[in-house]
Amino acid sequence: MKGLFIRTYGCQMNVYDSERIRDVLRPLGYAPVDAPESADLVVVNTCHIREKATEKVYSELGQLKRMKEASGGRMTIAVAGCVAQAEGEELIRRQPAVDLVLGPQAYHKLPEMIARASRAIGDRLETEFDTVEKFDALPKTRDADGPAAFVSVQEGCDKFCTFCVVPYTRGAEMSRRVDDIVLETRSLASQGVREITLLGQNVNAFHGPAPAIEGGEDWTLGQLCRHLAKIGGIERIRYTTSHPRDMNDDLIAAHGDTPALMPFLHLPVQSGSDRILKAMNRGHTAGQYRDIIARVRHARPGIAIASDFIVGFPGESDADFEATMQLVRDIGYAIAYSFKYSSRPGTPAAEMHGHVSEAVKDERLQTLQALLRLQQTEFNAAQIGKTLPVLVTGKGRNAGQMHGRSPYLQAVHFDGPESLNGQIVDVRIVGASLNSLTAELLQVREGAL
């Protein structure tokens, strides 16, 4: 057995990719280890979305270099993901201890690259774009790691928001075949997975070909969700991350007619100012976003809404920022992620006039986050007294405690036996804080204990 250590940065797509990297390396005798020091192969799966994320990668590589030297050169260092795609050979130039560089579309080639590297021949770099090849080449079944799992259904992005590197690092938008998604989901369900999260950079742009028996037409994400909900064992379906422009009527209807589709929607809006949304090339107005949320809430009353925000986009005035604050007040978020605008080389926004100072960005971020924290706390507190079904995902921090997640994706802690792991149980919510809920176990469904 050889030791494999994977460090994952960035989005859930990267978390999923790291699991697939682990899967393709298992037949070569690589097994996960807990620390990079004891690994023969270290894969750093990187994120390029903001400058800070990229810098973290270089500092981690510096530490790995020292470990590699201490191991007498035995350790192989591979850099995967979006920094690998964006920086390519520059990465090897800046950190020569790196043995392999592979972009997000090249993971299935990792075994071949390692073999070549061990014979000290050939290329260290694989950053070709071929999503179709990647989807086809990765194993169709995989090992589950607990009762909740990600399933990739779509990759890449054609939206070209002016601030974003994803269309350059992940390539063109591309959907996976429904047959393959079903195979992977069935394999997960047979291993006890109860909840799947369908993943894609633009997941609701999904338009994968349906199975021949269903006519072979391209399906929407709504159709896919309804189909996957029929797979025995799959009780919960989520999807992330979606774009307002692709929030079509069928997907909104699915939120009303598919109970397995969880009442949680992550729909990033980035800004509440139409002027800024236009400069960002988001392709919708704040009013259109409000309308989508109203329709989703009509289809599924009580649904939790999540979002992403960027403050300090070039040209953002106090009035533009206030429009964002007003949108947040109007919508009321269950949770949201907010970032200071980070200028990314090669993106159109990097060339725009009116870059906002760090001090103003800091102040706006603090103001926005204070409001978002308040809303999150209120949303959590509103669950007190309710009975909620919780998917138990593992042991809690204290003895005798278990944790899980609510339909609204909140972390829930309660006292209960370990045998509940992987089950969906009813709990009564008795307490709430910013980041989690506490609960009492009410009843265990038949056969759970």
Q: Which C-beta is closer to ligand SF4: that of 187 or that of 339?
A: 339
Q: CA–CA separation, 294 vs 160, rounded Å?
A: 26
Q: CA–CA separation, 428 vs 449, rounded Å?
A: 18
Cα–Cα–Cα angle for 162, 368, 289, nearest 5°?
55
Q: Which C-beta is closer to ligand SF4: that of 5 or that of 129?
A: 129
For residue 384, give the DSSP letter: T
Minimum CB distance to ligand SF4, residue 123 (Å): 28
259 residue type, one letter:
P
Confirm or reject binding of residue 9 to ligand SAM (CB under 6 A).
no
Cβ partners under 8 Å of residue 135, min gap 6:
152, 155, 174, 176, 177, 180
Residue 160 interaction partner, one of ligand SF4, ligand SAM, none, beta carbon < 5-8 Å per kind:
ligand SF4
Applying CB under 6 A, which of residues 49, 57, 221, 437 lies at the interface with ligand SAM?
A: 49
Confirm or reject binding of residue 153 to ligand SAM (CB under 6 A).
no
Minimum CB distance to ligand SAM, residue 329 (Å): 19
Minimum CB distance to ligand SF4, residue 267 (Å): 11
Nearest residue relative to ligand SAM (C-beta)? 268
Within positions 247 to 266, which residues make up the interface with ligand SAM, using CB under 6 A? none
Minimum CB distance to ligand SAM, residue 53 (Å): 10
Token pair in block for residue 369:
């986050």
Q: CA–CA separation, 432 vs 381, rounded Å?
A: 5
For residue 298, give the DSSP letter: H
Q: CA–CA separation, 19 vs 141, rounded Å?
A: 12
β-partners of residue 441 are 427
**Binding-site residue total for ligand SAM (CB under 6 A)?**
18
Minimum CB distance to ligand SF4, residue 52 (Å): 17
Residue 168 interaction partner, one of ligand SF4, ligand SAM, none, beta carbon < 5-8 Å per kind:
none
Helix (H, G, I), strand (E, B) or coil at 250: helix
Within positions 414 to 433, which residues make up the interface with ligand SAM, using CB under 6 A? none
Token pair in block for residue 145:
């790691």
Token pair in block for residue 405:
């997640």
Q: Which C-beta is closer to ligand SAM: that of 104 or that of 416?
A: 104
H helices of 229-301, in order, are: 249-257, 274-279, 286-299
Confirm or reject binding of residue 223 to ligand SAM (CB under 6 A).
no
Minimum CB distance to ligand SAM, residue 45 (Å): 14
Minimum CB distance to ligand SAM, residue 265 (Å): 12
Within positions 304 to 343, which residues make up the interface with ligand SAM, using CB under 6 A? 308, 310, 339, 341-342
Minimum CB distance to ligand SAM, residue 46 (Å): 13
Within positions 159 to 178, which residues make up the interface with ligand SAM, using CB under 6 A? 163-164, 166
Residues listed for the chain = 449
Question: Strand 148-152 vs strand 125-126: parallel, antiparallel, or unpaired?
Answer: unpaired
Cα–Cα–Cα angle for 33, 43, 156, nearest 5°?
130
Residue 174 interaction partner, one of ligand SF4, ligand SAM, none, beta carbon < 5-8 Å per kind:
none
Minimum CB distance to ligand SAM, residue 307 (Å): 8
Confirm or reject binding of residue 11 to ligand SAM (CB under 6 A).
yes
Peptide bond into 241 cis (omega under 30): yes
Report the interface residues with ligand SF4, using CB under 6 A: 157, 159-161, 164, 166-167, 201-202, 243
Residue 49 interaction partner, one of ligand SAM, ligand SF4, none, beta carbon < 5-8 Å per kind:
ligand SAM
Q: CA–CA separation, 35 vs 15, rounded Å?
A: 17
Residue 50 interaction partner, one of ligand SF4, ligand SAM, none, beta carbon < 5-8 Å per kind:
ligand SAM
Confirm or reject binding of residue 243 to ligand SAM (CB under 6 A).
yes
φ, ψ for residue 234 (rounded to 5)? -80, 110
Within positions 183 to 202, which residues make up the interface with ligand SAM, using CB under 6 A? 201-202
What distances in angstroms separate CA 377 from CA 335, 384, 390, 403, one per listed residue? 9, 11, 19, 19
Cα–Cα–Cα angle for 432, 435, 436, nearest 5°?
45
Q: CA–CA separation, 439 vs 384, rounded Å?
A: 9
Residue 175 interaction partner, one of ligand SF4, ligand SAM, none, beta carbon < 5-8 Å per kind:
none
Minimum CB distance to ligand SF4, residue 280 (Å): 8
What distances in angstroms separate CA 303 from CA 17, 46, 256, 271, one per listed residue? 29, 32, 10, 21
Residue 167 interaction partner, one of ligand SAM, ligand SF4, none, beta carbon < 5-8 Å per kind:
ligand SF4
Applying CB under 6 A, which of residues 270, 324, 375, 423 lies at the interface with ligand SAM?
A: 270
Residue with tokens 């047959």: 179
Minimum CB distance to ligand SF4, residue 157 (Å): 3
Residue 203 interaction partner, one of ligand SF4, ligand SAM, none, beta carbon < 5-8 Å per kind:
none
C-alpha closest to that of 5 among 61, 102, 78: 78
β-partners of residue 4 are 32, 41
